[in-house]
């Protein structure tokens, strides 16, 4: 199986979580061991040096934790509000179908540490922007954002580029 075949397992779900949204369901990809391994191996080939790997709840966690484990790098969870047990930084953000809050432990990173940020989808860019802000507040430098797929029509890449022109963005699949 190659990366194209693995990504083809992602299925669109219309009108979820609300009418007008075309949700991209990664669970068929995750359920296929070969496909999940191919995606993880592909992500590992993108990492050019040892760094912390941050993943955004919930689906970004899956890929970030697997990648951190397979490459021997540390993993940082970026979670929804109220899920982390220690003191946190919080960041409000807007997304395609509402608003939410993300948090990171205040001591999750340390000073001037490079961080690779992973999420499943780049849509409007709001979630990733909030995660970048949190990582910076916790002392990290985001030098690369990786997503499994990108919805080009929602202009998230441009939003992120306008605010963070120094950050490289890689999406495995763009539609």
Domains of the chain: 49-174 (3.40.50.2020)
Which pLDDT belongs to residue 22?
87
Which pLDDT belongs to residue 96?
63
Is 50 annotated in the active site?
no
- pTM over 0.85? The answer is yes
Which pLDDT belongs to residue 97?
66
Tell me which of 57, 96, 129, 133 is the catalytic residue.
96
Q: What H or E segment, with its residue span, contains residue 137?
A: helix 126-137
Nearest Cα residue to 151 out of 127, 125, 123: 123
Q: What number is the average pLDDT over the span 119-134?
A: 95
Question: Percent of the chain, pLDDT > 90?
Answer: 85
Which pLDDT belongs to residue 121?
94
Show the CA angle centred on residue 117, arms to residues 24 and 127, nearest 5°.
55
Max intra-chain CA distance, the chain: 43
pLDDT in tens, 52-109: 999 999 899 999 999 999 999 999 999 999 999 999 999 999 766 678 999 999 999 9
Tell me which of 57, 59, 79, 129 is the catalytic residue.
59
Do the Cβ atoms of 30 and 62 come closer than 8 Å? yes
153: left (phi over 0), alpha (psi -120 to 50) or beta: alpha
Is 157 annotated in the active site?
no
Question: Percent of the chain, pLDDT > 70?
Answer: 98
Residues 69, 50, 145, 142, Cα dihedral to 10°? 120
Report the distance separating Cα 130 and Cα 128, nearest Å: 5
Do the Cβ atoms of 112 and 141 come closer than 8 Å? yes
């Amino acid at each position: 199986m190659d990366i194209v075949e693995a990504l083809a397992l992602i299925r669109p779900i219309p009108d979820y979580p609300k009418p007008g949204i075309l949700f991209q369901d990664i669970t068929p990809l995750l359920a296929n061991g070969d496909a999940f391994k191919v995606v993880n191996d592909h992500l590992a080939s993108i990492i050019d040096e040892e760094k912390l790997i941050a993943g955004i709840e919930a689906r970004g966690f899956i890929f970030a934790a697997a990648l951190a484990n397979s490459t021997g790098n540390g993993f940082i969870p970026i979670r929804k509000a109220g899920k982390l047990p220690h003191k946190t930084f919080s960041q409000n953000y807007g997304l395609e179908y509402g608003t939410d809050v993300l948090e990171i432990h205040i001591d999750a990173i340390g000073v001037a540490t490079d961080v690779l940020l992973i999420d499943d989808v780049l849509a409007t860019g709001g979630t990733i922007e909030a995660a970048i802000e949190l990582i910076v507040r916790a002392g990290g430098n985001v030098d690369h954002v990786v997503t499994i797929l990108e919805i080009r029509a929602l202009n998230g890449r441009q939003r992120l580029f306008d605010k963070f022109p120094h950050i490289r963005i890689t999406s495995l699949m763009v539609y």
